[in-house]
Structure 1
Amino acid sequence: MIPTTILTGFLGAGKTTLLNRILQEPHGMRIAVIENEFGQENIDNEILVQDSGEQIVEMNNGCICCTVRGDLIVALSSLAQKREAGELTFDRVVIETTGLANPGPVAQTFFVDEEVGAHFMLDAVVTVVDARHAMDQLDQHEEAQRQVGFADKLLLSKTDLVTPEELATLTARLKRINPRAPISTADFGRAPLAEVMDLKGFNLNDKLELDPDFLETDQVHDDDHVHDEHCGHGHGHQHDHAHEHGHEHNHHQGHHSDDIAAFVFKSTRPFDTAKLDEFLGGLVNVYGPRMLRYKGVLLMQDADRKVVFQGVHQIMGSDLGAKWGENEVRGSKMVFIGKNLPKDIFISGLEQCLV
């Protein structure tokens, strides 16, 4: 299976800088780069052979660049066929999405299309975030929030153009949207490719690493969330004291409230398998389109092994993980990242599935 990275990020974030590096540098890896090309944000034309009628161009470092204006599935299948026929050699693939794209459907392709699934394995979604402009982009464009929420790894560019305070504010906001993705502030015009490749974000492993700051603030601000649910939706709560209080709270903390955000469920009581299956199935049916990424390591009734599950929108997979260690604290930990998800419905429903 060929590991594949989806590279996303808002317009001008610096994806092209990173790609140009992949396509030129002597890193010794043979990478096929697929560019979903719409608009002017394409690879520097100097590198590409100009008048080639062929869509696939081989670079001097052995990488391949392939521009797709149409269907990604067709492009991936044709790359796989050429590789099997011995016409092309490459060991991994990077797909660059356009700056305004939602990475969701691209990621789903790997689980839905049989031919793609037979040859390619989705490794991770890497999102490049422009430190200088991200606060505005997140305020104005839901797609920018989606790209952050979907990521397995966030790469911050242009950090030299902002103050340490601005960087801290942005980082805190990114963690609220997505506490599962590590954030690198490398000047990744020169970042090691290890920051981009082989991240195994879609592996069903029993690690669920969440940002510790997020877990702390998640506990503290629990009561704010209750007020936030009704804030500003004009349900006649205008004079309600709690509403006012919630509002004050927000301005006071300087929160930018994003539609896309994360929350965590934790419990040391085991789940009833049948109840949990049914409840998760129902959640995914109802809220799947609004659920970007979710993952959990679960303690199940009468099971000596962990159960690991994760999903993208409506597509959910689960697997048996390692055995619980002798001295390990047993418990379940789940994270949900999505758009305006009703946190209280998720949490109370999950609590009802506990033994």
Structure 2
Amino acid sequence: MSKIPVTLITGFLGSGKTSLLNQLISSYPEKKIAIIENEFGAINIDSELVTNIENKEVFELSNGCICCNLNDELYLVLQKLIQSDHQFNHLLIETTGIADPSSILASFIMDPFIKKKFVLDSVICLVDTENGQRLLENESIFIKQVAVADQIILTKSDLAGKAKSDILKGELEKINRFATLGEALFGKSENEYLLDSFSYDPAKVYQFVLGVEGKSDTNKDKHGIESMCYTSCIPMDQMKLAMWLDAFLTFNQDSIYRVKGILYLGGLENQIILQSVHTQFQATVGKAWDKEEQRESKIVIIGKNLNRKVIEQNLNELLLN
């Protein structure tokens, strides 16, 4: 059985996450979508879609989609979905407005059961244009939501006006210049087809790292968000690297948002594609190094107030002598 793609929808309170859910349901009639919400009610999914609420754990919608509450551990909710009689081929997860999405993302690259059944597609972050500037100044969770996103959509930009929207876009690009940036006009995203971008696919990570090399930030913005790219032609010790990553991500879980890399590890003839979310990291075997190709590790780190000098020193200590 092929793995089921998972799209995570995040954004602060009132940003329009449920409106986007309803748009996605109608934009992909060929998909059998399952939805996980932190809170479920008639005010969320369009009430006319709800046809069967006898099962309080899994709700059936009139178009064939199903919906359930995230009222247990994510593992248990996913297990209930898999074991239910409902068939689905895409999973949407809507987080609460004050939630850090990182812990949910980490489950999809860490838990063996979840990894066997599901694969991360992308993270979509909705931003209320009217209140975006205020949130940037006062809500650290909102900044984290923006920083981990692969796609950012400005909502209510038609109400806020072009000038306000343009200023906010500039601020968001300083925090996350690697995400695609779009708008939702009159409650509907200008891009109807937001699913199946597969930002976590190793090939996408590979292209991302190559695109970032030499272009990482030299100065942090006022929110402290920045990126750095480490490179080395000396092979790395895979055991030391794994131990360092585990400690590095654990002790810096509030300030390190994403790590992506192409690794040149000693004793291996293939590239290793690295990606991390929150405190968890995943290494995937990539293509074999070409004979004429320069073997080189490239690691991109995105986070807040990065101590570049210390991080580079730590990574240099992982190189084989």
Matched, 1:298 2:243: no
For residue 116 of structure 1, report the CA deviation from its aligned partner: 3.0
SS in 2 for 1:42: coil
SS at match of 1:201: coil
Distance 2:162 2:209 in 1: 23
Letter in 1 for 2:273: V
Shift of residue 339 of structure 1?
A: 4.0
Map of 2:272 onto structure 1:
307
Task: In structure 2, list runs of 5 or more residues that go unmatched.
Answer: none
Structure whose residues are more often strand by fraction: 2
Pick the aligned partner of 1:120 from 90, 99, 118: 118
After TM superposition, the structure 1 = structure 2 runs for residues 49-198 of structure 1, keeping only pairs within 5 Å, are 49=51, 52=54, 54-82=56-84, 87-185=85-183, 187=185, 189-195=188-194, 197-198=195-196
From the superposition, tell whether residues 117 and 332 of structure 1 become closer, same or farther in structure 2 (CA, over 3 Å): closer
**Which of 31, 34, 46 is residue 32 of structure 1 equivalent to?**
34
Residue 213 of structure 2 contacts residue 229 of structure 2 at CA under 8 Å; is this kept in 1? Answer: no
Match of 2:282 among 317, 320, 326: 317
- Note if contact 2:32-2:89 (Cα within 8 Å) is conserved in structure 1: yes
SS of structure 2 residue aligned to 1:347: helix
Q: Distance in 1 between matches of 2:289 and 2:157?
A: 41
In the alignment, residue 202 of structure 1 is paired with which amino acid? Y
The unaligned stretches of length 5 or more in structure 1 are 226-254
Size of the aligned set, in residue pairs, is 315
- Whichever residue aligns with residue 298 of structure 1, its letter is L
Other structure's SS at 1:23 match: helix
C-alpha deviation, 1:290, in angstroms: 3.6
Looking at structure 1, the residues matched to 92 and 316 of structure 2 have their Cα atoms a distance apart, in angstroms, of 40
State TM-score, norm by structure 1. 0.75
Partner AA of 1:36 in structure 2: N
* Cα separation, partners in 2 of 1:281 and 1:190, compared to 1, 3 Å: closer
Which protein has the bigger helix share? 1
Structure with greater Cα Rg: 1
Q: Is the 8 A contact 1:24 1:59 kept in 2?
A: no
Match of 1:347 in 2: 312
**Are the counterparts in 2 of residues 153 and 183 from structure 1 also a CA contact under 8 Å?**
yes
- Evaluate the alpha carbon distance shift between residue 167 and residue 213 of structure 1 in structure 2; reply closer, same or farther with a 3 A threshold: farther
Contact 1:25 1:61 in 2 (8 A): no
Q: Could you tell me the percent identity over the aligned residues?
A: 30
Q: What is the distance in 2 between the residues matched to 1:57 and 1:76?
A: 14
- Report the RMSD for the aligned CA atoms in angstroms: 3.3
